[in-house]
Structure 1
Amino acid sequence: MENKISFCITCMNRLHHIQQTLQRNIEDNNLDDSVEFVLLDYNSSDGLENWIKEYMTEYIDCGILSFYRTLIPELYHRSHSRNVAFRLARGNIVCNLDADNFLGNSFAAEMLNEFSINNNIFYTSDLSSTDIYGRIVLLKKDFIEIGGYNEDLEGYGHEDADLFNRLVKKGIVQKYFYNRDYYNAISHSKEERISNEVIYKKFHSLYLSYINPNRTEILILFKDGLFEKGIITDNIHGISQYESNPDHLENTSKIRLENYFEKGEWFEFGREVLLKFNSNQVQFTFNDHKVSINGQDYYKVLDPNFIHSIVLLLTMKQNEQKSIDTINQNLLVNPNGFGKCTVYKNFDYQEEIFLT
């Protein structure tokens, strides 16, 4: 059987990226029956489907592009959306392709050649670029055998590294593509990275309490009346330095969570707030920029960029800890299946496709 590679793109409200990348990626990697692009519209509300219908039907008609849409998700879930797209792929080789990524000329040809030589491998970037970090090329059978992306990991970050680690544990060799022509992507803000995800949609306010230069307690209040509270540490630099340059938060691997964050409910009564978690209750006064809990001051974060950085950091570190626990304890990933969804193909709403 000849190899076929499927580039799997998931998109929720990223039409402006698809408009710049999709056609160029197809034209740069059009190898007749050896390549397909699978685009999953994850219930976008920005006109993605209409744009595909108007400008990309020639690629659908010739078979290189398959357009799927689901009407179910209200928020973006990285692992689930990718699992759906990978399951829909017809190629025996699958590749996650972020909507903002440019593949580069002949990326498909190079990968097809590599897998014709060795099929006990998977390919990633050299992991030096955040924007390209999630691009992985692997055999679809290996993806299925390890249970896909871990859908227990929510929010932004580490779902890719988790997949890499489980493949390596299975004995599959990780290889790297180094051609810098394959590393181009559209730059965008941290807010845009998380704007369709649950933690950002629910976010109400963020407070920090500096315990010492290396330890900071975080209190996040959510609109649904829940909160998370816990300590992050950085034994190298000190947390407070990142407030002046929050971009560094996203790139450092030295920061860790001391433990899983406490979770509970919060209630507001005028200027008073009540936190309830486990059997504990804490009441404090709600000021504009500072709250005091049992004599400990928490300061409200007002800088949007710093808020986005903290939210990104928190989800990445929480997912990282879940991943470590899963691998160390040999827990089964997605024990009840993955990528379950109802989709429609190429604008045909008369026939539902059920992934169960």
Structure 2
Amino acid sequence: MSMITPAGWYPDASAPGQERWWDGAAWTGHTRPEAAAPAPPSPPVPRHGPPPIPPAAPLGPPGTAHGPGAAAPGGSAPGGPRRRPALLAAVAVVVLAACAAGALLLRGGDGGGPAHVAKPPAGPSGAGTAAEGPKGAPEGGEKGGEEGPAELADQLSGISLPVPHGWEEAHTSLDGATTVWTEGPFNCPGDPIFCRRGRMSSRPLPADGASGPEAMARRDIADAADALYGTHPLGLEPYGGITSHEEVAAEAVTVAGRDGYLVRWRVVTGAGPGGFVQSVAFPSETGPDSLVVVRFALDAGPEGPPVTLLDELPRGIRALGG
């Protein structure tokens, strides 16, 4: 029965002091110093002699005078076990090399994340939003040397929220709304939980008798103020509760190309500097019986975001696919 020599390191006749790797079918380009050779491979070398020694001249095809199939000096043609194990070993080497290359590619790739619109239209720029505005602000907010999304899509409402520089997506929301807020939580001035100095969230709501965007905005503002500065769903009061409020703006606005309405309150809280709450309502693409409501909250005081965001952010909202 025809036999071949098993894969392994063998003396290289073309380079004294070196060994060359025989893959069970042919000589490869891999060499090493003979002194570094480990113990011989476990499969015994057949009595027919060692594998063919690579000559100084280029190796020829198997079976030729200079090929790996040629008879070794002083012996017959090389023999050994069947070719299947050697072929499997060669395939394993190729697979390992492909895995290593894939790991290198993954190491330099981008991380995964929620789907965002790649290039939004011009949005609010005076407050340093990530969307490119009249001042040519760079696309994408920077955080730790990485670019964040310029927009966050609210698929249910059919809109995209602008993400200002220094803001990020909130991956959890107790009311299921699509939310972005300022980076870096801080200890709330009231009960010991974490707060954010700026928040913006959107969701569709049934009209429930509201005659239009103005009626919806006026009805929602009280709920928004309580949710953002009043009692937490866990029963805590992160801002010490709302002690009073004042309406500072109420006007028609255009949001995502639709006629909407805006209502804004200044709230005074039992702890901390208080803040501004705003509700903006406009028609939903899903039908006349549904409206989209976007809520805003900005802490007052020197550490709070600029109040101009309350005017600029609604202008940066756009319709998905528009």
Please give the TM-score of this superposition, normalised by the length of structure 2: 0.24
Q: Which has the larger radius of gyration?
A: 2
- Structure of greater relative contact order (alpha carbons < 8 Å, 6+ residues apart): 1
The structure in which a higher percent of residues are helix is: 1
